[in-house]
Amino acid sequence: MTDTLTIRRPDDWHLHFRDGAIMREVVPYTARQFARAIVMPNLTPPVTTTELGAAYRDRILAAVPEGVNFMPLMTCYLTDTTDPDDLARGAASGVFTAAKMYPANATTNSAAGVTNVENIYPVFERMQAEDIVLCIHGEVTDHSVDVFDREKEFIERHLRGIVAAFPRLRVVFEHITTSDAVDFVLDAGPQVAATITPQHLHINRNAMLVGGIQPHNYCLPVAKRETHRLALRKAATSGSPKFFLGTDSAPHLKKDKESACGCAGIFGAPYALESYLAVFDEESALDKFEGFASLNGPAFYKLPVNEETITLRRAEVAVPPVLEIVGEEIVPWHAGQMLGWKLD
Ligand code: DOR
Ligand code: ZN
């Protein structure tokens, strides 16, 4: 049995830091483990311009603890009125690593998102020409579509069309939750990849709805049925370069989750690597973990792999039931559970 695992330092290819005091307290959890992270732009107001992206990056860098090597990779929030020239400038100057498309009202702080995907085809055209990565929240927002079908429906209504119309545009289908998404990504060319969160590898929708409503297992896209979870586990641990780590860590205070209208999002950052590793261990795929966590993402984003290494050891780790940020309680992913690996 393998008891230690040394891999190149990983990156988190999708997460939310928020801003202000909360951001300053959550950044260290990520910087402890990851060398880089793709930072989502769904602030209020959202990060829609190069100027806003550069300023947000500076605020994050100021929150990185002394002596810790961590680089935030910024994304531009696409709207119906995104200026392609500004986006191209932001990418060329190194402020933006990617642009993020939220369908309007699909999730937290997405009201300013794109109202009709086809509206921003001119922006995709420019992104393809400039080789800027497009990150997509892939859910339709049509109220007549069942929430459990929104990802599958997005593939059929929009994603197939985008990928066909822009065959050289690099697309990351973010936080996939269905076997339909796995199949779509596998059938597409090498310019299409996906991130997978730890929660979607660990839980199915029962974890949210059985034995009382479980707000700390609620995120968007919502966890689906068990068949989908198994397809995601197979994809993540398969060794395919098309799948890589993206926690979608999305901090919301305990009181905002445990509410009559609880926020979507799971605070996965504190024990992210330990959480993923439990899955790879259960699937007897420890040898595939470095690819998923540290190699596939940089290859897709055309960035160098990290030179540093980290070591994880088999050891019991008790995840606290709550953590404190900004003087308030926040519930981490795996709250109150034991995990079997520990980051040195
Ligand atoms: O659960 C989620 N929370 N999904 C998202 O897409 C956004 C995120 C957030 O910002 O809280
Ligand atoms: Zn997200």
Q: Give 44 Cα–ligand 2 centroid separation in angstroms.
A: 15
pLDDT score at 1: 80
Q: How far apart are CA 308 and CA 292, in angstroms?
A: 16
State the DSSP H helix or E strand holding residue 310, giving kind and residue range, or none if neither.
strand 309-318
pLDDT higher than 90, residue 108: no
123 in contact with ligand 1, CB cutoff 6 A: no
112-121, 163-172, 335-344, range with the lowest pLDDT:
112-121
pLDDT score at 133: 98
Residue 230 per-residue DSSP state? H
SS3 35: coil
CA distances from 211 to 208, 260, 333 (A): 9, 17, 18
Instruction: Give the mean pLDDT of 295-302.
Output: 98
Q: Which two tokens stand for residue 342?
A: 């520990």
pLDDT score at 151: 98
**Widest distance between CA atoms in the chain:** 55
For the CA of 108, the nearest ligand? 1
Q: Which two tokens stand for residue 302?
A: 């055309």
Look at the chain and count its residues: 344
Q: Give 19 Cα–ligand 1 centroid separation in angstroms.
A: 14
Q: How far apart are CA 138 and CA 173, in angstroms?
A: 7
pLDDT higher than 90, residue 107: no
Q: Give 250 Cα–ligand 2 centroid separation in angstroms.
A: 7
Is residue 15 a contact partner of residue 49, using CB atoms and an 8 Å limit? no
Query: What are the backbone dihedrals phi and psi of residue 244, each rounded to the nearest 5 degrees, phi first?
Result: -145, 170
107 in contact with ligand 1, CB cutoff 6 A: yes
pLDDT score at 333: 98
Residue 155 per-residue DSSP state? I
pLDDT score at 126: 98
264 in contact with ligand 1, CB cutoff 6 A: yes
Catalytic residue among 11, 12, 248, 281: 248
Q: Can you give the pTM of this predicted structure?
A: 0.98
CA atoms within 13 A of residue 48's CA, in its CB half-sphere: 16
Closest ligand 1 atom, residue 263 Cα: 11
Q: How far apart are CA 88 and CA 108, in angstroms?
A: 26
Closest ligand 1 atom, residue 218 Cα: 1
Closest ligand 1 atom, residue 266 Cα: 1
Closest ligand 1 atom, residue 16 Cα: 10
For the CA of 248, the nearest ligand? 2
Strands, E assignment, 142-278: 171-173, 192-196, 243-245
104-108, 280-284, 303-307, range with the lowest pLDDT:
104-108
For the CA of 13, the nearest ligand? 2
Protein residue with least CA distance to atom 4, ligand 1: 220
Q: How far apart are CA 207 and CA 142, in angstroms?
A: 25
What's the pLDDT tens digit per position in 13-33? 999 999 999 999 999 999 999
101 in contact with ligand 1, CB cutoff 6 A: no
Instruction: Give the mean pLDDT of 309-335.
Output: 98
Please determine, looking at this structure, whether the domain spanning 10-308 carries the CATH number 3.20.20.450. Answer: no
pLDDT score at 106: 85
Instruction: Give the mean pLDDT of 282-304.
Output: 98
137 in contact with ligand 1, CB cutoff 6 A: yes
Domain ranges of the chain: 10-308
What's the pLDDT tens digit per position in 172-213? 999 999 999 999 999 999 999 999 999 999 999 999 999 999
Residue with the two structure tokens 């990851």: 34
Q: Which two tokens stand for residue 155?
A: 């593939």
42 in contact with ligand 1, CB cutoff 6 A: yes
108 in contact with ligand 1, CB cutoff 6 A: yes
Confidence of residue 303 (pLDDT cuts 50, 70, 90): very high
pLDDT higher than 90, residue 146: yes
Q: How many CB atoms lie within 10 A of CB 258?
A: 15
Asked if 248 is an active-site residue, the reply is yes
pLDDT score at 243: 99
Q: Give 183 Cα–ligand 1 centroid separation in angstroms.
A: 23
Q: How far apart are CA 252 and CA 261, in angstroms?
A: 13
pLDDT score at 293: 98
Considering the chain, what is the average pLDDT of its residues?
A: 97
